[in-house]
A and B are shown apart, each in its own frame.
Chain A
Amino acid sequence: MERISERQAMLIGAGIIFDATLISIPAQLLGVAHQDAWLTYLVAGVAVAASLWLLSRVGSRFVEVDLYEALVTRFKWVGRMVVLMYTFFVFFLVCRDLRMVSDFVNIHLLQKTPLVVISILVVLVVVFIARGGVELLARMTELYLPLLFFVVLILPLLLGKEFELRYYKPIFEHGVGDVLEGGWLAVSYVSEIALLPFFLSHKVFRLRTGLYGMGIGVFFLTLLIALNIVTLGPHIASRFMYPNIELIRQIRITDFLDRFDIAIVSIWLPSIITKIGYLLYICCHGIKRVTPGMSAKQITTAVGLVALTCSFWFFENSIQLIKVNYVWPVVATLFAFVLPLLMFFFLKPKPMR
């Protein structure tokens, strides 16, 4: 069993929340909650904390193993079905994130390159990362994520002169309902941290680890969306596909420090690719649990290529990636709240005779 430390698990948690969310949902949050959008991640964080608590309680009953193994050993057929459901869920996440990255690169960076070529390149890297196992994932996270967080932390300094602080007022102009709606949308992304107990044993991933990881991820997401509000303003920011990229394009400190956006994107891209790597690893891990005698490493390439095809099949155009954000919270609620709740009540070790 590969070992990773608690700190690495915490960073993986933060990375899973942060990397993909910053190009997927901020525009919709700004469209729904306007200038109060910075509160939405906090609402989602509170809800997901409950889910993490449920999962850590279940995990504490099976200390040595991760939840996939617990499910499969305790309930032979129902357990396998639940694992299969989660695997399909994660597979869909892989397709979605893959398509998101490819779309982003196609729109902003390489306009003439065919989408397939970009996707193939990303899948190749993702497959290599996922084949390396949890240790490799953890080490890559430790390398790129702190650097990314450092960049996000200095953004307020770099963007200071573009701030219009009045943009965040008036608070709760349309009441709390908009913030709650935004929180509902954000739950679909923040709840991805609930996948971690399924492939990390309770020894490594405790409630404390999960909460710290989620706290870090939500903090940086909130910082970014707050910067969006005071720099771009809610009207412009909600119309962009990727408002965070437009945010970093505003960095201009005299003619010398201009056009920093490519540099920052080059720090972010390895993180998102690593994140897709986690998801692919969880997916293959789940398949391995369901079918005996399968080596997770060997099927990674195959699953990666199927995900590539499905990412084109499931989403016709970039707008469908936006539309899925409005229905996804229901699915995420099922996998992050309903199933963990059922597991909390029913998944207990066999009573010792």
Chain B
Amino acid sequence: MKWKSLLLGGLLMVPVVLSGCWDRREINDVAFVLASGFDKEKDQYRVSVQVPLPSQLGGIGGSGGGGGTSGDKSWYVESMTGSTIREANEKQQRSLSRQLYFAHRRVLLIGDEAAREGVKEYLDILARVPQNRLGTFVLITKGETRDVMNAEESIEQTPAEMMRELAQNTMRKPRTAKHFIETLLSDGIDPYAPAIQVVKTQSGSGKEKTTIKVIGLAVFSKGKLQGILNPEESQGALIAMNQAVQPMINLPAPKGEGQLSILLGETNVNIKPALEGDKIKMRIVVRGKGSLIENTSAYDVTAGHNMEDTEKRLDESLKQSLQKSIDMLRMKLHADPIGFGDIVYRKFPNEWQTMKKDWQSHYEVMQVEIIPEIHIVHTGAITQPFGYKEGDLKQ
């Protein structure tokens, strides 16, 4: 009977050995992809990947970026074309001794020219292969993605990390690929993404290097890039989406020269739809708390009723900024990232069924009423402008 238990023991050991072999992945046989970039060249897809070089990464605690003493980068960018994205990856794999591993890719870049043709085809591989994660940030680049990925100066160890942090800092609730795809698949709301570009640092003659800068908000419509709003234009849209991270508003001083800068620490926007016959009316209430962060004029905000007066002018400025952004989105770009269509859908689903066929025309004639209610809470650590003598202050 002993041989029976030995045989059983032996047979039991077999699956234990079998189970790990195929999917075994040695850590030094893996090339972690930090960022991917998609471009289109005629009908071929160009895929660029940024891979770190482990031996150059240096010790723990070093956030010392590229351009160090030896001049060696701790990463490199590889780029190939193919008729599908997967094919381009396979071609890249042929020039890499390590397996490309996409699970740690935090940033997905799409070139603006490719995005103008349509982004739908790039998104399938994001979800189909479980190695890819929907938690990546989607960014649009002005110019080719590999130029942006090759930026020389970056405060983080790799440009991919810098792009990720930049993407996170542009919005209050950073929008990942999951949200991008969900808005793409929904009616009534369009996706949006931060737009970045490679620029030269303005460090002075001869010392310029390339770095990455956020140039605004890319808005889409029907799956295609419609345009990139610059930071001033996009501020209104971001506030309306409850996505603005501490927006700052500059007001000209009412008396004399100079500007007042007010930082809105908290903003809360509530959009309520109303239906009057066939016309939609949107009531946008913006509540916020602001603080005076800089005063380059001689105007004394604390005197008399100047605080209330400033609040009124701030409200007016905010109203104009929001109106301008919304009009630009609907008239010029025909895009709806704020999701007015979606708001109508959630509240009036029956009317939405008829409206959605021709949403653009309803969107353009939609009445927008903006009611800002900003309250300036404090003026910082000082009250009167610091550089001016008592007699020069304008009250």
Contacts and interface: CB of A to CB of B under 8 A. Distances in A.
Interface of A: 107-114, 117-118, 120-121, 124, 161-162, 166, 169-170, 173, 232-233, 235-236, 239-240, 246, 249-250, 252
Given A120-B15, A169-B346, A113 B182 contact: no
Nearest to B16: A121
A233 B127 CA distance: 15
B17 to A, nearest CB: 11
17 contacts: A108-B130, A112-B22, A112-B23, A117-B15, A161-B173, A166-B342, A169-B346, A170-B349, A233-B185, A235-B181, A235-B185, A236-B127, A236-B134, A236-B178, A246-B127, A249-B134, A249-B135
The 10 closest A-B pairs by CB, nearest first: A235-B185, A112-B22, A170-B349, A113-B22, A233-B182, A169-B346, A110-B23, A173-B349, A108-B130, A112-B23
Contacts of A162: 178
Contacts of A117: 15, 18-19, 22
Interface residues of B, number: 23
B334 interface: no
Contacts of A118: 19
B345 interface: yes
Contact of B181 (A108, A110, A236): A236
A119 B345 CA distance: 46
A68 B51 CA distance: 62
B183 to A, nearest CB: 9
Contacts, number: 62
Contact of B127 (A112, A161, A169, A239): A239
A170 B345 contact: yes
A94 B346 CA distance: 42
Contacts of B178: 162, 232, 236, 250
Interface string B164-207: 00000000010000100110011000000000000000000000
B40 interface: no
Interface SS, B side: helix
B173 A113 contact: no
B133 interface: yes
A58 to B, nearest CB: 42
Contacts of A124: 12, 15
A239 B123 CA distance: 13
Nearest to B187: A235
Nearest to B15: A121
Interface of B: 12, 15, 18-19, 21-23, 127, 130, 133-135, 173, 178, 181-182, 185-186, 342, 345-347, 349
Given A170-B349, A233-B186, A250-B178, A121 B19 contact: yes
A232 B133 contact: no
Given A121-B19, A173-B349, A249 B133 contact: yes
Given A112-B22, A112-B23, A232 B182 contact: yes
A189 B152 CA distance: 57
A250 B135 contact: yes
Contacts of B22: 110, 112-114, 117
A206 B126 CA distance: 48
Given A113-B21, A250-B135, 14 more contacts: A110-B22, A111-B130, A113-B22, A120-B15, A121-B15, A161-B173, A166-B346, A170-B346, A233-B185, A235-B181, A236-B181, A236-B182, A240-B127, A250-B178
Nearest to A120: B15
Contacts of B19: 110, 113, 117-118, 121
A322 to B, nearest CB: 15
Contact of A252 (B21, B23, B135, B182): B135
Nearest to A121: B15
A165 to B, nearest CB: 10
Contacts of B345: 170
A125 B15 CA distance: 11
Contacts of B127: 236, 239-240, 246
A101 B347 CA distance: 41
A117 B21 CA distance: 11
A250 B134 contact: yes
Contacts of B21: 113
Given A161-B173, A235-B185, A111 B23 contact: yes
Given A112-B23, A113-B19, A235 B186 contact: yes
A168 to B, nearest CB: 9
Nearest to A113: B22
Contacts of B134: 236, 246, 249-250
Nearest to A172: B349
Q: Which of B178, B342, B347 has the most chain A CB atoms inside 10 A of its CB?
A: B178
Contacts of B133: 249
A332 B345 CA distance: 37
A292 to B, nearest CB: 28
A273 B133 CA distance: 27
B60 to A, nearest CB: 15
A230 B162 CA distance: 30
B352 to A, nearest CB: 9
Contacts of A232: 178, 182
A173 B18 CA distance: 51
Nearest to A171: B349
B137 to A, nearest CB: 12
A117 B345 CA distance: 49
A113 B133 CA distance: 21
B354 to A, nearest CB: 14
A109 B178 CA distance: 21
Nearest to B21: A113
A118 B22 CA distance: 11
B301 to A, nearest CB: 36
Q: Which of A236, A240, A250 has the most chain B CB atoms inside 10 A of its CB?
A: A236
A106 to B, nearest CB: 10
Contacts of B173: 161
Nearest to A161: B173
A113 B186 contact: no
A250 B177 CA distance: 11
B358 to A, nearest CB: 20
Nearest to B349: A170
B51 to A, nearest CB: 20
Nearest to A240: B127
Contacts of B186: 233, 235
